[in-house]
Amino acid sequence: MGFDQSFLDGVASSSPTPGGGSASALVGSLAAGLTSMVCNLTIGKKKYQEVSEELTKVLGESEELRQRLARLVDDDSQAFDEVMKAYRLPKESPEEKEVRSHRIEQATKGATQVPLEVMEKALRVLELSQVVAEKGTPNSISDAGVAAVLAWSAVEGANLNVEINLSSLKDETFVKGIRTKCEGIKSRAQMLLNEVLLLVKSKI
Amino acid sequence: MGFDQSFLDGVASSSPTPGGGSASALVGSLAAGLTSMVCNLTIGKKKYQEVSEELTKVLGESEELRQRLARLVDDDSQAFDEVMKAYRLPKESPEEKEVRSHRIEQATKGATQVPLEVMEKALRVLELSQVVAEKGTPNSISDAGVAAVLAWSAVEGANLNVEINLSSLKDETFVKGIRTKCEGIKSRAQMLLNEVLLLVKSKI
């Protein structure tokens, strides 16, 4: 099973999109895919009948998260392009300056929401990876661990993209609110990663 | 710029390949791609003339790493399939048992080398991400940070795949040697990640 090199080529190119925000969303989607795989390798096996119902629910949710995070790959690039468009608006007259400044602020707020959603969704993937590490087939225990590691890195990577957008915003109330949310997500993600890695290493 | 969903579908499916090993290699390749992007956005700009020569060298190396890690995505799946093939060998007679056991040991050693190389290559990507975080355009500082985060997670994810293979090997000298290498790579990766994230956050 090969994969499409053109996305990787696009990342490496001198175009700023797709960049770190899109890459973080893609890695979150990969983590969700690994979580789904552990479910698929467990559900329906006689030995795991007791957990099949629960893992079927997990699978439904991890597949939704995988699709959503895959869409956020493109959303992030589009939101960045909107910011660039706002920066290119004319800035001769005071009126033009005001319109431009307002549009930059609005576009940057929009560009903050995408990586924030990546953080929220990737945190949920991390929670699901803990369930599959506990209850999935032990044959796939390393896959559950990789799912957790990748979900954590999607949270951290997306957070850097939230932060760089916040750094150019004027609306301090907005900035404070988002930053508080991010701190909560990051500390929960760090705790979960530590827990899942301990569990995975004890089962290997 | 979209990307090929079929690889993600393959990860999520009930086939054990591509799994966590391939996903870790892909994430390492993505990290290399982001490192290349920061080079490409810096080289040739007047303001960064002083670092253009150094970043051109970094770019050459990060592009080689990106290609190599992309190949390791498929190599990992193939190495896993070889192990599965060995497990399916007949085990009726004592001779068959011995041949099978030997082939499993050999194939598992082979399957250990792939994620070990992913760890080595991803560690090098992490080193290069530090150079671009220091010397690349500050407009791309979050991309340099995401490159570091993803390279670290490729090291950690691949390490879980090394470990699960080591756990079924009989050759204790081999196991000890690989484990010592892994510990060195992991502790250096953790140190580098902390350093790069500190630097990135100070520049955002």
Domain, as residue range, for A119: 17-203
In a domain, B6, yes or no: no
Under the banding of pLDDT at 50, 70 and 90, the label for residue A140 is very high
Q: Give the tens place of pLDDT for each residue, B135-163.
A: 999 999 999 999 999 999 999 999 999 99
| pLDDT at residue number A83 | 96
- Mean pLDDT in residue range A5-28: 94
| Among A21, A30, A200, beta carbon nearest to B160 | A200
Q: Give the tens place of pLDDT for each residue, B52-99.
A: 999 999 999 999 999 999 999 999 999 999 999 999 999 999 999 999
Q: Give the tens place of pLDDT for each residue, A181-197.
A: 999 999 999 999 999 99
In a domain, B56, yes or no: yes
In a domain, B185, yes or no: yes
Contact A23 B36 (CB under 8 A): no
| pLDDT at residue number A63 | 98
Under the banding of pLDDT at 50, 70 and 90, the label for residue A1 is very low
| pLDDT at residue number B127 | 98
User: Which of these, A14, A84, A86, A13, lies nearest to B45 by C-alpha position?
Assistant: A14
Length, in residues, of chain A: 204
Residue A96 distance to chain B (closest CA, Å): 25
Task: Enter the tokens of residue A119.
Answer: 């953080």
In a domain, B116, yes or no: yes
Rounded to the nearest integer, the mean pLDDT of chain A is 96
Contact A204 B167 (CB under 8 A): yes
| pLDDT at residue number B1 | 42
| pLDDT at residue number A91 | 96
Q: Give the tens place of pLDDT for each residue, B177-202.
A: 999 999 999 999 999 999 999 999 99
In a domain, A7, yes or no: no
**Number of CB pairs < 8 Å for A and B?**
198
Mutate to test the interface with A, among B7, B9, B11, B201 (most CBs of A within 10 A): B11
| Among B1, B163, B201, beta carbon nearest to A77 | B1
CA atoms of B12 and A157, how far apart (whole Å): 22
pLDDT of residue A131 exceeding 50, the answer is yes
Residue of A nearest to B24 (CA): A146
Residue of B nearest to A161 (CA): B142
Angle, alpha carbons A138-A143-A144 (nearest 5°): 75
Q: Give the tens place of pLDDT for each residue, A151-175.
A: 999 999 999 999 999 999 999 999 9
Give CA separation, B79 vs B13, B75, B104, B196, in Å: 19, 6, 11, 33
Under the banding of pLDDT at 50, 70 and 90, the label for residue A4 is confident
In a domain, A8, yes or no: no
| pLDDT at residue number B5 | 82
| pLDDT at residue number B2 | 54
Label residue B112 exposed, middle or buried (CB < 10 Å: 0-12, 13-18, 19+): buried
Mutate to test the interface with B, among A13, A126, A150 (most CBs of B within 10 A): A150
Contact A163 B142 (CB under 8 A): yes
| pLDDT at residue number B3 | 66
| Among A30, A33, A41, beta carbon nearest to B14 | A41
In a domain, A176, yes or no: yes
CA atoms of B8 and A179, how far apart (whole Å): 31
pLDDT of residue A3 exceeding 90, the answer is no
Residue the block writes with tokens 């991803």: B122
**Read out DSSP for A15-49?**
SS-S-HHHHHHHHHHHHHHHHHHHHHHHTT-GGGH
- Split into its structural domains, chain A has a count of 1
Contacts of A24 in chain B (CB under 8 A): 146, 150
Residue A95 distance to chain B (closest CA, Å): 27
Look up the pTM and report it.
0.97
In a domain, B1, yes or no: no
**Read out DSSP for B84-112?**
HHHHTS--SSHHHHHHHHHHHHHHHHHHH
Q: CATH number of the domain that A180 lies in?
A: 1.20.120.680
